[in-house]
Structure 1
């Protein structure tokens, strides 16, 4: 078991995130993880990201406050315990348009790796 105390979660600094604090709870520098990593972002009032897409899906859960998610399809305001999934390649921007701090949980898989020699056959036979 790998335990990460929130007070000791390592900070990370993603590009194009403004007035935000980001920490990792599991995976990457927070400890071992095989398939996904978890992070928490705190958005100050006015905090935001630029519109960007990633090669893997993202899942967000709002823990506190309100976060507006902007995609090519429009804007959606997520409130406490609301969640959304963004598909691989789906551009998104986040913003906190409220006067209160917002906190959002991020769950994101690691990019898939090409199978090593001999693993491709095993993967096919287990489907």
Structure 2
């Protein structure tokens, strides 16, 4: 078993992310993992990500607050708001943008494959 206490979860940064505090809960520099890594982000009001796609799928689970997710596969664009315990899957090559349009912070869990 590999345990990471939340206060000791390593912080990380990523390009195109603004007004966010991001921590890795498992995988990568947080410890061993054969398949995925898990991150937790606190997104301040007005914060979020630029639009971008990657070669791997991503799963987002809203834990607190509300988070607007815009996804585009090139032929259609979908906008949704995730509320606590709502989740979404972003497919490989599907562009996604996260944005906190609310007045309070949003906390979101990210699960994605180890390969980037």
TM-score (norm 1): 0.86
Pick from 71, 76, 83 the counterpart of residue 80 of structure 2.
Answer: 76
Deviation by residue 1:75-101 (Cα, 9 ceiling, x = unmatched)? 100000000000011100000000001
Structure 1 segment 1-127 matched on structure 2, within 5 A: 1-72=1-72, 73-111=77-115
| Structure 1 runs of 4+ with >2 Å offset | none
Indicate the structure (1 or 2) with the bigger Cα radius of gyration.
1
Q: 1 CA distance for matches of 2:86 and 2:78? A: 17
List per-residue Cα deviations over 1:44-101 (Å, max 9, x = no partner).
Answer: 0111100011110000000000000011222100000000000011100000000001
Once residues 59 and 48 of structure 1 are traced to their aligned partners in structure 2, the CA distance between those partners, rounded to angstroms, is 16
SS at match of 1:92: strand
Unaligned runs of 5+ in 2: none
Q: Which runs of 5+ in 1 are unaligned?
A: 113-127
Residue 29 of structure 1: SS of its match in structure 2? helix
Q: CA RMSD in A?
A: 1.0
Provide the TM-score with structure 2 as the length reference: 0.94
In structure 2, how many angstroms separate the alpha carbons of the residues matched to 1:32 and 1:47?
30
Determine which structure has greater relative contact order: mean sequence separation of CA pairs < 8 Å that are 6+ residues apart, divided by chain length. 2
Contact 1:56 1:110 (C-alpha < 8 Å) held by counterparts:
no
